[in-house]
Structure 1
Amino acid sequence: MIEDMLRTPAAVQDAERHTAHNYHPLPVVISSAEGAWVTDVDGKRYLDCLAGYSALNFGHRHPTLIAAAHAQLDKLTLTSRAFIHDQFADFCRELAALCGKDLVLPMNTGAEAVETGIKVARKWGYQVKGVPADQANIVVAEGNFHGRTTTIVSFSTDSDARADFGPYTPGFRIVPYGDLAALTEAVDEHTVAVLLEPIQGEQGVVVPPEGYLPGVRRLCTERDVLFIADEIQSGLGRTGTTFACEQEGVVPDMYLLGKALGGGIVPVSAVAADTNVLGVLQPGQHGSTFGGNPLACAVATEVVRLLATGEFQRRSTELGERLHTGLRGLIGKGLVAVRGRGLWAGLDLDPSLMSGREACERLMERGVLAKDTHGSTIRLAPPLVITEEEIDHAVAQVAAVLAG
């Protein structure tokens, strides 16, 4: 039988045999990819509508980014920050310009960028704002997802991410997302920062109420508090603008960036802020051996240049309208709600039909890859290189799954 000749089942078992079970992946084993499509070990093609949680905004193996990686591999890959390399200045200068900030601090992963933001905010609070030693607090939102380090899960409200990892790091206050009154109440004279996702991705692509982000910006300005925007998933073109904060004309004091910054090739993250904020760090107080390495900088500089053209932001806006129009047409036909901006959508399924996991398994069978979250919600975040026809195909497969 054909099923007996497939390589996928054995490959799935082999992958699970010596791996800690910290993920529950769909049973697909990908071996190659290009653009918005991936191919498994049995030759079946799938439309990738997750894009590495937005790490693949520019699609798989974007030729410009692959060329930059190949060229740098032949020259220099790592120096450590003990020395300066010839790719470093261009990356920092061009990313700072894209963000409209003075300085950039390169790291590797999104969680490292968040940890960096927390440390910088606390140091700024003590040295600039004058908060008494060890009294700083940072206000965060319920439903947040900023990473999985011990400090970050200390202010998570997701039991899977948080349970059994204590004792937890103090210094955080959690308020409902989108509730400006609760946020205002939580901020006091020892608050050094408000740390938020402009759109909560892991929670199901939750968009805050209109006026919330501008309200946060005003509050932070009035109370001398840093507004830190975690744009690791929402930034770099995903929502139709370079940063999701731009959708409401808001400029935070600090951007936390990652995922798409590495072009889907290498892990790259960064913190961007002005000198009066990032300038509090002095040599030896924070760092990373691989942060800002030559290979990462070569790829990430090309990412910044792709974004500087505005092409991908326009694609996200225009194609996002097509995606959301198609998905909204399925409300009442198995969907109960659709949220998001640009090429990013959270779909709430009628839980009586199936779970989000079941929906993703059925989509996989139909050649579309997506990811579930929180029971009956699935997320779609296709690469920004997706075409109109491919969007229509994805929506059609969602409709087919809902129809049973």
Structure 2
Amino acid sequence: MKRWAAMAGALLLALAAWAAGHYQAVHSLKTWDQQVYLWQRVWTPEHATALAASHELFSTLRVLGLQVHPRDGLREVAVNRDLLRQDGRPLWLVVRLDGQLQQLNVTVIHQHLLQQLQRWQSAGLTVIGIEIDHDAATARLAEYQHFLQQLRQQLPASLQLGITVLPTWLTSPVLPDVLQQVDSSVLQVHAVLSPEQGLFDGQLALSWVRQFARISPRPFRVALPAYGIGLIGFDAQGAQVESEASLRVAGHTEELTVAPQQIASFLQQLALLKPRHLRGIVWFRLPLEGDRRAWSMATLRAVIQQQPLSTRWRVEFLPQQNGLYDLNIQNSGPIDAPLPREIRIQATGCLAADAVGNYQLAGASEPLRFIRIRGDQLRAGQSRPLGWLHCQEITPGDTHVIP
């Protein structure tokens, strides 16, 4: 009896520890500040709807306003300043400096940045900071530190200065000096691996955050993905990356997506980690209705608010004539999800069948097996063509979707 009592006591202690940890994780998630990137280079009427729907989710907007590219030079993004003024939330003006730039001309960049800043402020926008997004090579961090030091001296003292940080910088002895030049930073843990490794690796991201928390002397946030990308012409020589805008080039496209459950799991583990100086999350990017690679607003809200992330799939049989059916795969759940890897349909007397789009038919044996050959994301409530079949009878209730 004593042995059983001891085991029961140990179990109760373990359950209490788990409950305490779970409570702390949930509490941390609720207290973190949530911000979002507006990264679209072309603004559309969809921005008004997305901004209105996002007010309860995001305290602050980080808006791409200026790009500097080796070929295109300086280019200001024509944001809708009237819309941002009506929105009323505080803003960070984000400056994207391409990693291939041979040098960073602080005088020219500051001149254009200051002019743009004055236009935004004159339009009634509440600009609280400047964020520099620069994928500098680790070997050039000392040069980048000098650039930031000069820029800080020339910016108004009322403005915060921030940067994005790459995981490849974490082992550099120069990184602490770089961080001394700014008020805060955003650690980017998505789209930093080679394409074949995917958009996001939760365990790697946790190790990067843990490492960065030991280095950063000031507040930081973590940038998380709520989107997918397409790799066009992916081969040994690399690929062109297509995201929120079409590149309008021909070639085979491989889709890379991040499942909402993957990010939700990461957030739970991050909350238990309780990194020093972590203040919140910056989501990439604000979902627009026509942005097929971004999560829907409903899905992003579900992840942030820790709602259930269940997926439900349904195969639609659309009768045509004489035993011919068109097939759709429908996401009937509450969140966006990657297309399922296989659909099995039991039918008899089949004369012909085929798959379309992202699927391929695996032979003509029963059950008919539709195998995913290209990944993609399907928003909640939407359907995608799966294929067709010509069969005498489809067995009711014997269609299986394998996520």
TM-score after normalising by structure 1: 0.31
The structure with the greater share of residues assigned to helix is 1
Higher relative contact order (CA 8 A, sep 6+): 1
- Bigger radius of gyration among the two: 2
- Name the structure where strand makes up a greater proportion of residues: 2
